[in-house]
Chains A and B, each alone.
Chain A
Amino acid sequence: MQYLVSVIDDKSNPGSTDRQPAISAFNERLIAEGYWVFAGGLADTAAATVIDNRGEQAVFSDGPFVESKEYLAGVWVWEAPDLDAALKLAAEASKVCDRKIEVRPFL
């Protein structure tokens, strides 16, 4: 079972910026224990571009999260046997990242 694990940051109350060493160590453990599928941090929401080509021509705009208080700061994909296992890791991830974590199953 794979889960998308989103790291949620808050512009008005951001998590601390010194978390990278702890996150790297946590990633090493995810890999060693077989949970790790993918991980990546994301650039600022201001760097995002939305393309809408459903109409006659492609329209470019800023991402929908430029204005929002909470935004996606990074993602993992984990392989876990069930939600309890994923939530247990997510509780650790939240401490490690100093941010909120959303766990969402893939179909």
Chain B
Amino acid sequence: MIDLREAVTRAHHEEWARVVAALTRRFGDLDIAEEAAAEAFTTAVERWPADGVPPNPGAWLTTTANRRAIDRIRRENKRDDKHREAQMAYHDDPPEPVGAIDDDRLRLIFTCCHPALAMEARVALTLRMVGGLTVPEIARAFLVAESAMGQRITRAKAKIKAARIPYRVPSAEDLPARVSSVLAVLFLVFNEGYLATGPGTDPLRHDLTAEAIRLTRLIRTLLPDDGEVAGLLALMLLTEARRTARVSAAGELVPLDEQDRGAWDTALIAEGHRLVRERLAAAVAGVAPGSYQILAAINAVHTSARDMRDTDWSQILALYDQLVRLDPSPIIALNRAIAVAELDGPQVALAAVDRLEHRLAGYHPYHATRADLLRRLGRSQQSRAAYDKAIELAGNTAETAYLTRRRDQLR
């Protein structure tokens, strides 16, 4: 029984996107593809225990889903004769060559992450159509009511159909912008798992970080030459490697300088470092790195150090300087200031942080960073006020617990 459940789970992970993608191309309709794929997996759960797992689960699922889709179209055609001609045109398409399968999954990903869709719709649609998560699972992940999440996905599919968002891989000239739209979706899913925003959920959501990594690996397989895809995957792996060390037994977030580095996942770190080295070689050859590659390099420096003092802060600051030139966002400037504090002391860093006030007043890490710098400068009263503000704005339970302890330790 356990083997069977494993077989279904594995088939779901490996084949869901393939089945949905192939059906979407054949029938030109995300709705039909999604429903038929879901039915095929339900049928597998019912039939495989008695019939055994088929030798090629992917082919079995695709065939079953195809039949379900055709059944549905026939049912609908009885209701709507005019529709039939349009749908029959798809049936007459010759079967695509086998090599096109990977392109199908890419088509699916680019369609779900199309820039004409709102960011939250892209996230939901990608997790459903590419990731194969159920609507209730996605709703839980983002603390949204199931009906609202269902509607979000339905509306996005309707927009794709009504506005005719194309089902294809973008042309070479559009590719970088469109890949970055896909990566932004995956990074958002990862970050929600890395530091969940809501107080009503676990502080770290391994299900979300794992899903984001799985999908990024898939895109890496499909676009092996894209440096930013490699960069984002490395960034995720090097972050995920520290997961178990990031929350204490008491449920408190553990900052980098207090983490037990022996608890870091060495296999993930090794894989992340390999990717960073690969991108460094490309940079040496003259390919300018994008933001994810630089962020990955910063994390590679952290994960190469035995402890906080051993960290090569001048290297980290140089990388942040490079990042600021690409992305002048105040959040990058804030993180850069943390490196400045290690090199030039908290006074210099505080001056840099204070300059960001008008842009980051509602962002809790701004107040948490100020609180820490003020504490190191012995300005307890101001530090306490900054901790209060950070606690008020932070939603993550483990982070709130950490900030509260730090505040209460002030003298």
Interface pair A82/B165, CB less than 8 Å apart: yes
Residues of the B chain whose Cβ atoms lie less than 8 Å from the Cβ of A84:
165-166, 170, 174
A63→B377 CA distance, assembly (Å)? 62
How far, in whole Å, are A78 and B385 apart by their CA atoms in the complex? 58
Cα A1 to Cα B223 in complex, Å, equals: 31
Contact B164 A1 (CB under 8 A): yes
Name which of A1, A83, A103, A105 has the most chain B CB atoms within 10 A of its CB. A83
Q: How far is the CB of B399 from chain A (nearest CB, A)?
A: 39
- Interface: B163 (CB within 8 A): yes
- Contact (Cβ within 8 A) B164 A82: yes
Query: B250 contacts the other chain (Cβ, under 8 Å)?
Result: no
Whole-angstrom distance between the alpha carbons of A81 and B116 in the complex? 16
CA distance A104 to B164 in the complex (A): 10
Q: Is B162 in the interface zone, CB < 8 Å from A?
A: yes
Min CB gap B402→A, angstroms? 44
Contacts of B162 in A (CB 8 A): 105, 107
A83 CB contact (under 8 Å) in B116, B170, B174: B116
The residues of A that contact B116 with a CB separation of less than 8 Å are 83, 87
From A82, A104, A107, contact of B166 by CB (8 A): A82
Q: Which residues of B contact A81 (CB under 8 A)?
A: 164, 166
Q: Give the residues from 153 to 187 in chain B that come closer than 8 angstroms, CB to CB, to chain A.
A: 162-166, 170, 174
Partner of A105, one of B163, B166, B170: B163
CA A84 to CA B166, docked complex, whole Å: 7
Least CB distance, B118 to chain A, in whole angstroms: 15
Looking across the interface, which residue of chain B has its beta carbon closest to that of A80?
B164
Distance between B194 CB and nearest chain A CB, rounded to angstroms: 32
Contact with A along B106-120 (1 / 0, CB 8 A): 000000001010000
Q: How far apart are the CA atoms of A84 and B117 in the complex, in Å? A: 12
**Looking across the interface, which residue of chain B has its beta carbon closest to that of A106?**
B162
| Nearest CB on A from B65, distance (A) | 25
In angstroms, Cα B166 to Cα A96, docked, is: 25
Q: How far is the CA of A105 from the CA of B160 in the complex (A)?
A: 11
How far does the alpha carbon of A83 sit from the alpha carbon of B174 in the complex, in Å? Answer: 14
Residue of B whose beta carbon sits closest to that of A87? B116
Bound-complex Cα distance A87 to B116 (A): 9
Residues of A within 8 A of B114 (CB): 83
Nearest chain-A residue to B170 (Cβ)? Answer: A84
State the CA gap A87–B165 with chains docked (Å). Answer: 10
A1 to B166, CA, bound (A): 12
**The 5 nearest A-B residue pairs measured at CB:** A82-B166, A105-B163, A82-B164, A83-B163, A83-B165
Q: Which residues of A contact B (CB under 8 A)?
A: 1, 81-84, 87, 103-105, 107
**Extra A-B contacts (14), CB below 8 Å, given A82-B166, A103-B163:** A1-B164, A81-B164, A81-B166, A82-B164, A82-B165, A83-B163, A83-B166, A84-B165, A84-B166, A84-B174, A87-B116, A104-B163, A105-B163, A107-B162
